Amino acid sequence: MKIKSPLNYTGDKFAIIDEIKNLSPKDINTFYDVFCGGGNVLINVNAQKYVGIDNNIKLIDLLNFLKTRTKNDIDKMITDIVEEYNLTKSWEKGYIYYGVDSSKGLSLINSYNFIRLRNDYNFSQSIIKLLVLLFYSFNNLFRFNSKGQYNVPVGKRDYNKNIQRNLELFIERIHKIKPTFINLNFLDLNKLNIAKNDFIYFDPPYLITEAEYNLMWTQENDNELMKLCDFLTKKNRKFAMSNVIKHDEKTNVELIN
């Protein structure tokens, strides 16, 4: 069974998990998920040990928070925040109670209290408030402005049964596999003791596509990542990369080479 991360991180690979697993080595000692995002690949690949790496400290802090709490503890903290800010509880009351249907959604009802919560989070940086914001935000996006403030608007959904189920399965999985989550730039990967039976998966931002997440990724970043892959090849270390070679009128010639 595939497990979906409750964190909707831009560019996640949940839809192609089976392809990634089929192309991966069958006997992996340590699996390194570089640019791990919400962890969809990490929690679904089979290995002896797991390391999730990302340079987004807020993301790594949140993953470590989920790793060290039980589902019941987190559920209680979430519902306490929901009660405190008077946010909707569709999983208990349904959409009819709020005078809307699923297609219309809950954004107008939650808008004012969502903004209150967002402002409070941006002041306090409380991890549990961030988690609630994610569940009540537009498309559950994990996005911050240049000042490090969460800036996603309110969404149509809330902490509904689907999210609760994804969260429960995700927590059960990371408690079972006990991954290590590290805040690290990919350029510092050579600081880790990567062995021959380990496997590294790269899912970097794509140089030639136009998603907002990719705008911060430069040709220099791409070149450095390819140098790292060449270094790993010389060291006889196994790795894979998800990327885009052609998009519209653009071609990543350096990557092809």
Single out the residue of 5, 155, 163 nearest to residue 79, CA to CA. Answer: 163
Sign of CA dihedral 22, 19, 163, 126: positive
Q: What is the pLDDT of residue 164?
A: 97
Is the overall model pTM greater than 0.75, yes or no? yes
pLDDT at 56: 93
Residue 113: inside a domain, yes or no?
yes
Q: Are residues 99 and 51 in the same domain?
A: no
DSSP SS3 for 95:
helix
AA letter at 94: G
Digit-coded pLDDT (tens) for 38-56: 999 999 999 999 999 999 9
DSSP classification of residue 241: E
Kindly report the CATH number assigned to the domain that includes residue 159.
Answer: 1.10.1020
pLDDT higher than 80, residue 3: yes
- Residue by residue, DSSP assigns 173-204 as HHHHH--EEEE--GGGGGGS---TT-EEEE-P
Q: With 90 as the cut, is the pLDDT of residue 163 above it?
A: yes
Confidence label for 9 from pLDDT (cuts 50, 70 and 90): confident
How far apart CA 35 and CA 204 sit, in angstroms, is 6
Structural domain contains residue 6: no
- Domain coverage including residue 34: 27-63+168-256
Q: Helix, strand or coil for residue 97?
A: helix
Give the domain-ending residue among 113, 147, 163: 163
**CB neighbourhood size of 207 (10 A):** 20
* Statement to judge: residues 156 and 124 lie in one domain: yes
What is the domain count for the chain? Answer: 2
55/77 same-domain check: no
**Are 172 and 243 contained in the same domain?**
yes
Residue 220 sits in a domain of what CATH number?
Answer: 3.40.50.150
For position 20, what pLDDT does the model report? 94
First to last CA, the chain: 37
Claim to verify: residue 187 and residue 235 sit in the same structural domain: yes
Question: Averaged over 201-207, what is the pLDDT?
Answer: 95
Residue 22 lies in a domain: no
pLDDT, average across residues 157-183? 97
pLDDT per position as a tens digit, 180-194 = 999 999 999 988 999
Residue 96 and residue 38 share a domain: no
Q: Is the domain of 146 the same as that of 226?
A: no
Task: Using the 3D structure, point to which of 146, 163, 180 is the last residue of a domain.
Answer: 163
Please check the confidence at residue 199 and state whether its pLDDT lies above 80: yes
Residue 13 lies in a domain: no
| 220 within some domain | yes
User: Do 172 and 246 share a domain, yes or no?
Assistant: yes
For 221-243, what is the mean pLDDT? 95
Q: What is the pLDDT of residue 174?
A: 97
* Predicted local confidence at residue 216, as pLDDT: 83
The answer to whether the CB of 85 falls within 8 A of the CB of 117 is yes
Is 64 or 216 the better-scoring residue by pLDDT? 64
Residues 174 and 147 in one domain: no
Indicate whether 31 and 145 sit together in one domain.
Answer: no
Residue 242 resides in a domain: yes
Indicate the angle between helix axes 127-136 and 107-124, nearest 10 degrees.
160
pLDDT of residue 211 exceeding 90, the answer is no
Q: Is residue 135 part of a domain?
A: yes
Confidence of residue 70 (pLDDT cuts 50, 70, 90): very high
Share of the chain above pLDDT 90, in %: 90
What DSSP string runs through 105-120? -SHHHHHHHHHHHHHH
Q: How confident is the model at residue 81 (pLDDT cuts 50, 70, 90)?
A: very high
Match 């140089």 to its residue by tokens.
207
User: Do 101 and 140 have their domain in common?
Assistant: yes
Within 8 A by CB and 6+ apart from 4, the residues are 14, 40, 166, 169, 170
Same domain, 112 and 155: yes
Residue 113: its pLDDT value, please?
98
The closest of 5, 16, 27, 18 to 198, measured between CA atoms, is: 27
From 163, 198, 225, give the residue that closes a domain: 163
Is residue 7 included in any domain, yes or no?
Answer: no
How far is 97 from 75, CA to CA, in rounded Å? 22
